[in-house]
Amino acid sequence: MPSVLDRPGLPSLLMVPFNWQDELIGVMNFRSIESDKYEDSVRVAELISSQIVGVLASSRAHFRSLESEQARLDAVARERELERVNEETSNFLSTVSHEFRTPLTSLVAFADILARNRYSNLTSRQLDQISVMQRSARRLDVLIGDLLDVSRLDAGTFKLTKQEFDVKYLIDELYSIFEPIVREKNQSLDISYPAGDMWIDADRDRVAQLITNLLSNASKYSRPDTEISLTASFKADALSVTIIDSGIGMSETTLESLFTPFFRSADEYTQSESGTGLGLVIVKSLVELHGGSGFRVRQEQAPLWKWTSLIAPLARLKHI
């Protein structure tokens, strides 16, 4: 309601609120150095207020509409710019990866030729150095492959080539590959799966890739003299692959950023191991591309070690 307030140095003050739909949208003030100036002006002020408040409300609604539309346009512009940047990044990664792979193929081939030492003219020290070259070149090849995969995933051009196969044979193949690797760290690898066939309809190479990435992480981030286990089973129409390792554990911050491309934990032990920060990102994407329910991580506290359980269910894969 309009009111007159007496203040030192300001004998007369009339304040008229602009109320619109139970909301105060403004105030009209009249001030005078004369005492009791507005005693007879209250009704006139209320009339002026009633005439102005509708116009003010309409103007405010119009400006809010303009602000909302501008915010929408800004959001659309940001989204388009992000899409453009993502597309350029994917194209860059794809181009650079291809350019790297061509000379790398030649380097690997010539290093393999030298390693054969056909003329027996290389010393053991030189052969060791060639071996380092081979390992480094193959690590670089894995990195290039990861970059290509990520660029295709970002661009939406990553395609699966599905076929029917028995996943037990694939697991046996991977065991024969990884068993010597874990043995070097005095680790043990235990695999288990149910009796009978385990046929699925999936991309065999990509399923091998995701299991390989998980096993590689399990071995790299586990101490010597520990055990790694791989269990495969069917749950309804889903293939569930569970890998458990006696790892170094992960902080809450690490868990939150685990599937961020190129993210690697600041932990000293993690940093001491080679890695790109792309392996788990690719695993998660491969699971989802197969119609899976996602890639989950569970941590448990063991008496001596913090156990890290990596669970990768591939849901809705065809069980022949």
CATH classification at residue 93:
1.10.287.130
Supply 20's token pair.
């619109």
Cα-based angle 1, 3, 28 (whole degrees, multiple of 5): 80
At residue 296, the pLDDT reads: 64
Question: Do residue 311 and residue 192 come from a single domain?
Answer: yes
213, 282 contact by CB (below 8 A):
yes
**Strand-strand pairing, 163-166 and 188-192:** unpaired
227, 252 contact by CB (below 8 A):
no
Domain assignment present for 83: no
In eight-state DSSP terms, residue 37 is T
Question: Do residue 151 and residue 256 come from a single domain?
Answer: no
Domain assignment present for 79: no
Question: Do residue 193 and residue 240 come from a single domain?
Answer: yes
Question: Do residue 184 and residue 313 come from a single domain?
Answer: yes
Domain assignment present for 206: yes
Domain assignment present for 48: yes
Domain assignment present for 189: yes
Question: Do residue 206 and residue 311 come from a single domain?
Answer: yes
Question: Do residue 111 and residue 179 come from a single domain?
Answer: no
Question: Do residue 59 and residue 183 come from a single domain?
Answer: no
Domain count, the chain: 3
235, 195 contact by CB (below 8 A):
no
Question: Do residue 67 and residue 114 come from a single domain?
Answer: no
Annotate 158-170 with DSSP letters as a single string: -----EEEEHHHH
CA distance 34 to 10: 8
Residue 288: which CATH number? 3.30.565.10
Instruction: Please report, for residues 162, 168, 176, 247, 312, the alpha-carbon distance to residue 283 in angstroms, rounded to integers and kept in the order given.
Output: 17, 19, 21, 18, 8
Instruction: Please report, for residues 102, 276, 286, the alpha-carbon distance to residue 209 in angstroms, rounded to integers and kept in the order given.
Output: 22, 15, 9
Range of the domain at 204: 163-319
109, 128 contact by CB (below 8 A):
no
At residue 156, the pLDDT reads: 78
Question: Do residue 304 and residue 181 come from a single domain?
Answer: yes
Name the stretches of the chain with pLDDT < 70. 1-10, 236, 249, 251, 262-276, 294-320
Question: Do residue 99 and residue 217 come from a single domain?
Answer: no
At residue 268, the pLDDT reads: 56
- What sign does the dihedral 253-258-261-262 (CA atoms) show? positive
Number of H-type helices and E-type strands within the chain: 7, 11
Domain assignment present for 10: yes
- What sign does the dihedral 260-264-265-270 (CA atoms) show? positive
Q: Which helix (H) or strand (E) holds 225?
A: none
Domain assignment present for 248: yes
CA atoms within 13 A on the CB side of 82: 7
Question: Do residue 51 and residue 181 come from a single domain?
Answer: no
